[in-house]
Amino acid sequence: MGNPLRITLLLLIFLLSVLIILLPQIPILSQQLIFVAAILITGIPHGAMDHLIYFKSNTQIHSTTFSKIKSFILKYIPPMVVYGIIWWIFPWFALLVFLMLSAYHFAETDLLPLQLSNNYFTVLLQLIYGIVIITNLLIPHPVEVLAVLSALPKSNYYIPLLTDFFAKSSNLPLYLILGWMAFLSLKLYNLNMLSSKQKTIIIIQTIILPIILNKLPLFLGFALYFGLWHSVISLQSIYQHLYQDDKSIKKFITSAIPFTLVAFAGILILIVLGNYNGNLNQASMALFIGIAVLTLPHLSVMSELFQDSKKL
């Protein structure tokens, strides 16, 4: 599913990565601005369609528009509030939960072409791949990661522990990539529904992306993976799910605008109320928390979409 787009994006990301590596080092402020731009342009909009996905998945349950909206709000808002409170009281625990949920969600999107059945082995496969992605994104960049995490409470206690962990885990991303290669090869060997070409694409994709994240600076790697890869592929899946009969790009874009603006406003308020006085690391952390809170119910909605996609 979506192989032409995936191949195009993979080639584009590879070429951009080579260009970034060959160019002189990009200033950290410019990297952060590119990171923010990626979130604003594709990251948040790809989550702004959740209400429409939910409405389509529950057409037989709710007969009126008001009933649909009420049900969506009750499904979407409470988890955000609870998770926001957890971030306020237990930020380091909330961070760990977010990383694990993100790992699973990234894998769910990246491995969708495998058309995996719902079982414990699939969950394990997705978690392993997601951990490979998160590990290669974070561990090779201890300076940037620790600088952002220093904005969290009790950082004086946790930062030294993380510094020691990063120092002892420098080779972990490579080992995980090698382990993933072996694990995936065994799975693909027994997966007869895919052609050799499809299997090759999956192997290249799931090996190239972690290596790129490993080699690029943190903010640029995240911008390319999340903004140009994950969000664009998710937007394609959403578009195909919502507009199977009416292929209207204009209608699709227009539908994303209201909740995109709401999300923009919410994150902006969070940053302004934080009064960060030009501290980019604290502002980045606030942006990160805002995205995390928005992401929790989004994961559930997207999982329903991916399950529906496998039935088609």
Helix (H, G, I), strand (E, B) or coil at 267: helix
pLDDT of res. 141 = 92
Report yes or no on 35 lying in a domain: no
Residues contacting 294, CB < 8 A, separation 6+: 44, 47, 80, 263, 266, 267
Which domain covers residue 244, as residue numbers? 3-14+52-257+267-311
Do residues 276 and 81 touch, judged by C-beta distance below 8 A?
no
Half-sphere exposure of 202 (CA within 13 A, CB side): 26
Report yes or no on 198 lying in a domain: yes
Report yes or no on 96 lying in a domain: yes
Report yes or no on 93 lying in a domain: yes
Report yes or no on 168 lying in a domain: yes
Tokens standing for 174?
Answer: 């490579």
Report yes or no on 27 lying in a domain: no
Report yes or no on 262 lying in a domain: no
State how many domains the chain has.
1
Q: pLDDT digit of tens for each residue in the chain (312 aa)?
A: 447 889 999 999 999 999 999 988 889 889 988 988 898 888 888 888 888 888 877 766 656 677 777 888 888 889 899 998 999 899 999 999 999 989 988 988 888 877 666 677 777 888 889 999 999 999 999 998 998 888 888 888 999 999 999 998 888 888 888 888 877 776 776 667 677 777 788 888 888 999 999 999 999 999 999 999 999 999 888 888 887 666 677 778 888 888 888 878 877 776 676 666 666 677 777 778 888 888 888 888 888 888 766 655
pLDDT of res. 2 = 47
pLDDT of res. 246 = 63
Quote the CA–CA distance of 62 and 79 in Å, as a whole number. Answer: 21
In Å, how far are 112, 124, 241 from 118, measured between CA atoms? Answer: 12, 11, 20
Query: Contacts by 80-89 with C-beta closer than 8 Å and gap 24+?
Result: 80/293, 80/294, 80/296, 80/297, 83/292, 83/293, 83/296, 84/293, 87/289, 87/292, 87/293
pLDDT of res. 92 = 94
pLDDT of res. 295 = 84
pLDDT of res. 232 = 92
In Å, how far are 29, 38, 214, 291 from 26, measured between CA atoms? Answer: 8, 16, 17, 25
Quote the CA–CA distance of 179 and 161 in Å, as a whole number. Answer: 26
Report yes or no on 24 lying in a domain: no
